[in-house]
């Protein structure tokens, strides 16, 4: 007859499960980042993705280390990553790159939330020794989220023409000013 798990082991058991969920996400992310680094036509994004792939491998190792230390078995399964499903299909290569970039942001933000929650859970469950490793991974994920946001204007500039867009930024403001000038001129002539 098997005895029920002791209360103090329950935290560990559940936490191993949550660490494995994070690991399954990183396993899937590593595979995705590899293919993103290959496919993106934006050189800066390619370099950052390659850099983040190395970080992701470290993050996998940190999670595996924590799981093993807690007596668990690190999973090799891959989670289903959040995807962005646009309304418009088919898409051009440039449009696909925009969608993939938004997906990069969605996934990295999900990872940020996941590490923050794991840290809070570790604190609450009295598993403080795991927090520094989670913190390290969290910082890398935050840096990746920041890179994607900061790089977005460059992505748009590079893809702009391929998206079939016309850059009207230079034209719209003077024409608005001209309109204002016109209405001022007519009010002056009416007053005189």
For the window 124-143, what string marks contact with Fe ion as x by the rule CB under 5 A?
A: -----------------x--
Work out the end-to-end distance of the chain between its first and last CA atoms, rounded to an integer number of angstroms. Answer: 104
Cβ-closest position to Fe ion: 111
Are the C-beta atoms of 173 and 103 separated by less than 8 Å? no
Q: From the CB of residue 45, how many other CB atoms can be counted at a distance below 10 Å?
A: 22
Q: How far is the CB of 52 from Fe ion (least distance, A)?
A: 6
Q: How far is the CB of 144 from Fe ion (least distance, A)?
A: 5
Nearer to Fe ion, 28 or 121 (CB): 28
Sign of CA pseudo-dihedral 73, 109, 58, 85: positive
Q: How far is the CB of 29 from Fe ion (least distance, A)?
A: 5
Nearer to Fe ion, 81 or 156 (CB): 81
Distance from C-alpha of 167 to C-alpha of 183, rounded to nearest angstrom: 26
Total residues binding Fe ion (CB under 5 A): 2
Q: Which pairs from 33-39 meet CB under 8 Å and 24+ separation?
A: 36/100, 36/104, 39/97, 39/100
Candidates 15, 24, 94, 111: give the one binding Fe ion (CB under 5 A). Answer: 111
Cis peptide before 90 (omega within 30 of 0): yes
Q: Does 104 bind Fe ion (CB under 5 A)?
A: no
Q: How far is the CB of 184 from Fe ion (least distance, A)?
A: 54
Summarize as ranges the residues that interact with Fe ion (CB under 5 A): 111, 141
């Amino acid at each position: 007859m098997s005895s029920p798990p002791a209360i103090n082991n329950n935290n560990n058991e559940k936490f191993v499960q949550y660490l494995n969920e994070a690991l399954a996400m990183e396993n899937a992310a590593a595979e995705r980042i590899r293919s993103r680094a290959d496919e993106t036509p934006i050189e800066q994004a390619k370099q950052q993705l390659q850099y983040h792939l190395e970080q992701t491998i470290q993050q996998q190792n940190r999670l595996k280390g924590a799981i093993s230390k807690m007596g668990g078995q690190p999973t090799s399964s891959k989670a289903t990553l959040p995807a962005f499903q646009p309304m418009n299909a088919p898409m051009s290569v440039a449009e696909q790159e925009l969608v993939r970039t938004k997906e990069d942001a969605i996934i990295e933000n999900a990872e940020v939330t996941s590490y923050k929650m794991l840290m809070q859970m570790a604190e609450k469950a009295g598993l403080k020794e795991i927090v520094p490793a989670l913190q390290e991974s969290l910082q890398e994920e935050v840096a990746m989220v920041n890179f994607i946001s900061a790089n977005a204007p460059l992505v748009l500039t590079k893809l702009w023409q391929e998206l079939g867009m016309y850059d009207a930024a230079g034209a719209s403001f003077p024409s608005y000013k001209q309109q204002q000038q016109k209405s001022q001129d007519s009010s002056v002539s009416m007053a005189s």
